[in-house]
Amino acid sequence: MRLVILDNSDEVSIWNAKYIRKKIHDFKPGPNRYFTLGLPTGSTPLGTYKKLIEFYKKGTLSFRYVKTFNMDEYVGLPRDHPESYHSFMWNSLFKHVDILPENAHILDGNAPDLQKECEEFERKISEAGGIELFIGGIGPDGHIAFNEPGSSLASRTRVKTLAMDTILANARFFDNDLTKVPRQALTVGVGTVMDAREVMIIITGAHKSFALYKAIEEGVSHMWTVSAFQLHPRTIFVCDEDATHELRVKTVKYFKGLMEIHNKLIQEDEQPEAEKQ
């Protein structure tokens, strides 16, 4: 397990985007070899998406041979609703880069058979060869995707009823009207994310510092589903200083002492794609 501690959320976004770019470049994707990327929604990854768009516009990154699988989607919210995760992903990333629409997979919260939709999503991930890098954010209660406290750590993609804390947190996107916030969502399971070859968890802000503490310094618990990734062979947590407030000083010093090693993970030749061919 790695923990990368950066000064602020802007630095987190830059570091994340460079890391994702390098993983794609090192994979050398092509027509018969797609890089598979698991993606989150919410405010946490927005800065990362902006940097990825910037890299694409500069010619240093292409999504032509990338397949994406999003973590979750609300049940019953129209696809074109401004707060649907389909709208979020297209407005925040997909329409600004060269990904092919058929390669951007998002769960359909309006499918006639929600259970079948979840099973099909798992099948599509498997057919794509599994996820190379799954990126996730967390809630203040340590949930990843919509795997609320108490979720099985072996769970797969399924319908999930949202906890009141999550509904309250998401109300800001629905005019602070709780009656407008969907009560259910389709979500990948903890086990689905654990199957990825690598997992990156982004944690920023003091309001998530206790969740980071639970994820890093305490044991694995289904009440803090993010803690499951202690068991993953290749997990990287990326956080800002504010998110470390609940960690022991010794823990912070140890991981900060590894930053020279961590920064080597994002070093690469930044030649534009066109010049490499």
Catalytic residues: 72, 141, 143, 148
List Cα–Cα distances, 124 to 12, 88, 129, 225, in angstroms. Answer: 30, 21, 9, 24
For 272, other C-beta atoms within 10 Å of its C-beta total 12
The residue among 190, 239, 249, 179 whose CA lies nearest residue 212 is 239
* Distance spanning both ends of the chain, measured CA to CA: 35
Cα dihedral sign for 61, 66, 72, 75? positive
How many helices (H) and strands (E) would you count in the chain?
10, 10
Q: Say if residues 161 and 72 touch (Cβ distance below 8 Å).
A: no
Report the length, in residues, of the chain: 277
Please count the CA atoms within 13 angstroms of the CA of 183 that sit on its side-chain side.
1
